[in-house]
Amino acid sequence: MWEIKEIGFNKERIIHNGNKFLTGHLKLGVRGALDEYTKAEMAAVNLPLVYDRVGKLWRESVNAYNPLYTVIKVNGRTVSLLTEDPVYHEQSLNMRDASMTRLTRWLVDEVEIVVKSKRFVSLLYPRLICGYYQICANKDVDLQVLTGIDIDIWDLNGPHLENTMLEKIEGDLYVSGETCERKHKICVYKHIKAHFNADKTDIVREEEKFLSRYLLKAKKSSPVTFQYFCGVGVDEKLDLIRGCVLDVAKEGFWRHLKSHREIWNKKWKDSDVEIAGNDQVQLALRYSIYHLLLLSPSISPCSSIPARGISGQTYKGAVFWDTEIFMLPFYLNTDIESAKSIIMYRVEALKGALLKAKEYGYRGAFYAWESQEGGYDACSDYNVTDAHTNRPVRTYFKDKQIHISADVVYAINAYINHNQDMSILKEGALEVILEVARFYLDYGNYKVLSRRFEIWDVVGPDEYHERVNNNAFTNQMVKMVFESVLKCEEYFKNKNDCYFEKLIKRIAFEEDLEHIRNLVDQVFIKEPNSDGVIEQFDGYFKLRDVDIDELKSKMLHPNEYLGGNGLAGDTKIIKQADVVAMLYLFRDRFDASLMKKNWEYYEKRTEHGSTLSASMYALVACLTDNPEYAYPLFLKSATVDLTGDSKQFAGGIYIGGTHPAASGGAYMTAVYGFAGLSDQGGDLRLVPRLPADINSISFKIKKAGRQYHIFVSKEKQEITEIAID
């Protein structure tokens, strides 16, 4: 169960398949667009974490020139999926080595034409794409092959590249340009290695495409093949890129694929989760892990993971809380280097968080809701467009979703607890914790008569209800931050290490520390009501209680935004797990009975309008010994990028792409939910909760410098320490 395959051609699935058959890594994302596709089909070669802004449009990640474009003409007639209906078509993804393959057969004027192609993004060289293309006809034909670089780029808020230059270099194609805002030089170099003799070869420019053109007489049943090697550069010198491309071209496509596959085999050896009982479940979970492996930050130290991964410019290519809460657990278990990179990304973004807080009139660190390089917040005050009027809608994600700073601290604690290693505190993480605590001290409100510290005017994980007071999730996270400060103080004091004390003095935190000591036990934490339900925020229980289907029946547009002043704003319908997310993240503070009551209350009122939501409900269902409730929610997370069953628009804004946080949630549900792994900093424990469809689960994890093999079935459970390869 290592191959994702789609048989048959459906134009309606072109855009979805661009996500489904995604390849690449955190420096280069190649959508699963076929060779003949252009920007109309959302073909894109994305440069994650490289950003640009055009005028007053949204700042987003940059798409490079597309070097994958290839089209053929047979007896003067263009043959492609965009011009001819195929007799047979299949597209597949080999998850073992992250390579994409297509096979298409046409019958045109009684000539059968078969095209096979394969490509992958190398893990051995930065931003290198290797491809193979083959054409075969059952009769002698006049064949024209056009392959090169498409310079007409698909952008959401572009065009981002200007001053485009085309150059022929010893038969190769080279295109360069620069970004509008920071003048990054973006270039693409393509070398074509033909395994046929052409009657004529030239280089042409046709309809914004820079192409090598080959004309030849193709013999009956004699394949015409070529390989191509494309280097994409960001501020690199041409000689370096060209040298890399030519070195790999000399090695050849298949030999380089073998070396590339060896690296992927090692990745899978450390991270695969094997499920017995249902092959489709195994495939879906493995596909989720595939996407997380694509995004391993170890390839780009001190980087983090955009909310839509490497699938394009959606959500501005920015990093959200998704990474710390939903993806980090996978890397903690399998790739500690990547886990540390996620933490260090936030450490390096501290200056940006300090600046953002200052801009809003606060002290401390207010992290970006949509983080780009240096902690720059790309989030807009108008982050949604009204689907009816096409007018921008004021949202409060940027300025009121303050739990993002605490999410960063939660991730730091998770890293420390898993590794049993506090050293990251001296690498900047302690300063992050202190500055986040200072921000909450300044943002919060102390009610003298009630003698409690409250957090007003926020947006919790449920984004449909804005500017609420005492969101239970947010308040719990703030208390955790204050507790973290005091735990750090105690740790360094017990170690007779003066690092904490020196840092306190350097950043003038003495008075703040005293406030934290006084306030930590006065942070307002909501108690359950008489039914055992925790109110999501002040006044939530007084909102209209309506059915989700009833609410949606009143929508006047399929892409209508429900939040803010929308249909859900004055109801109890919530977008995603909020209280339930809090219950899972702080599961050691709540008993199963309370979790179950809240699960039952909130689940039927949750629209699951975010793909983050299902996994939190699945995890809490497992903690309350209800794996059968968890199972469909697990499948919802694991299959979202296979089915494409997710929201494509928020209001009038395109939000399509892959969902790596859902992939992370699927992994968490399998490992921490069904297998019941417990890892709260001490010894590993197992409390299995397998659904009927799963007979056993086995996987490896790394913890505190050791590696363990975990096996869980309905009959037994084992934790075995094994040697680290």
Cα–Cα distance measured from residue 671 to residue 288, given in angstroms and rounded to the nearest whole number = 13
Tokens of 40: 């109309």
List strands edge to edge, sheet with 23-25: 23-25, 28-30, 45-52, 60-64
CB 304 within 8 A of CB 345: yes
Catalytic entry in 178, 463, 489, 560: 463
Q: Which residues have C-beta within 8 Å of that of residue 412, sequence separation ≥ 6?
A: 343, 346, 424, 429, 432, 433, 484
**Is 427 labeled as catalytic in the residue annotation?**
no
CA distance 165 to 162: 9
Q: Hunting for tokens 């993971």 — which residue is that? A: 305
Q: Where are the alpha helices (H) located in 371-460, listed in sequence order?
A: 397-400, 403-419, 429-443
Q: Which residues contact 389 (CB under 8 A, 6 or more apart)?
A: none
Three-state SS for 83? Answer: coil
HSE on the CB side for 146, CA within 13 Å? 21
Helix axes 279-294, 660-668, angle to 10 degrees: 130
Cα radius of gyration rounded to whole Å, the chain: 27
How far is CA 123 from each of CA 244, 247, 581, rounded to the nearest angstrom?
Answer: 13, 15, 35
SS (H, E, C) 652-719: CEECCCCCHHHHHHHHHHHHHHHCCEECCCCCCEECCCCCCCCCEEEEEEEECCEEEEEEEECCCEEE
Q: Where are the beta strands (DSSP E) in 224-272?
A: 224-234
Alpha carbon distance 474, 536 (integer Å): 10
User: Tokens in use for 706?
Assistant: 């050791």
- Give the Cβ contact number of residue 537 at 10 Å: 25
In angstroms, rounded to a whole number, what is the distance separating the alpha carbons of residues 417 and 155?
41
- Dihedral in degrees, nearest 10, Cα atoms 501, 504, 510, 514: -80
If one counts every other C-beta atom within 10 angstroms of the C-beta of residue 372, the result is 24
Residue 369: closest CA among 387, 385, 352: 352
Residues marked active site are found at 463
